[in-house]
Amino acid sequence: MVVVVGESLVDVVIDTDGVTEETPGGSPLNVAVGLARLDVPATLVTQVGHDERGGMVVHHVEASDVAIVAAPTATGRTSTAIARIDAAGLARYEFDLEWSLPRQELPPCRALHVGSLGTALEPGRESVLDLVEQAVARELFVSYDANLRESFVDDAERTWREVRSLAARCTLVKLSDEDADLLAPGTDPDDVARTLLAGERTGMVLLTRGAKGATAFWTTGTVSASPRPVEVVDTVGAGDAFMAGTLAQLADADAFRSGLSSDPAVLERLVGGAVEVAAVTCERRGANPPRRHDLPPGWPA
């Protein structure tokens, strides 16, 4: 079982015609749902309000067979993200977010995944960091997706320090080329990824590049994979689907226990499989990751 910790919210998606649709979202929620849909048991530790949107979130999570530990928000309202979709299907976000997660006891699990705004916003950030330390003390596999949002990065140098500090405690780190540009403007994203690879527990860094695919960095090399041609509906949840696809493959390979492979052929298949999960998600409206039967036969081969 994988424990996923972080924010849950409702995405208010507004398309180019002004049509609005509300769907459950939040990067950690999307990863947990993506894992369960790929037949990896998952528990989501999060916060929701006692309102209609909170009920929507809980129903969505449980309908995907994810167990949920949901602390109440102080305001009673569920957080939201307004996602405005442009002509290319790319989303730009505006957030109304509360994150005040109280301290938690890490449930028994094979791995812990953290990321996004849950690792950045106080006061809940401290509870997430404490869970990471609990996982490290148990010598568990820990993954981290930076998934930054420009509106929450008011001091790039401080954010870069915080990301490096957390990443150093994690086995696997993921970031996008947009994250890299926010953390170290003007720096080659590959160099940002290599800097994060120097963390004391870090065995791999995954750098996603949008329509150009993704690259895996490890101590002795790199591999990349590009997506097949995709008719993009929108990109909401694509990075989260990539993360879930990665973790699902690692679970299949028992890598949470045995460790990450350094075989280039294995890692190329890992990255390619995750890119395919993201591609399917881009063909759908909103954060709607696939189940295994939605993927090509023999996935991730």
- Residue among 240, 235, 179 nearest 29 (CA): 240
The DSSP 8-state label assigned to residue 293 in this structure reads G
Catalytic residue among 240, 252, 254, 294, which? 240
Quote the tokens at residue 243: 């993360």
CB 30 within 8 A of CB 69: no
Does 11 participate in catalysis according to the annotation? no
The DSSP 8-state label assigned to residue 108 in this structure reads S
Sheet strand arrangement including 9-14: 20-25, 9-14, 80-85, 91-96
CB 28 within 8 A of CB 115: yes
Rounded to 5 degrees, what are φ and ψ at 259? 105, 165
Tally: H helices and E strands in the chain: 9, 13
The residues assigned a catalytic role are 240
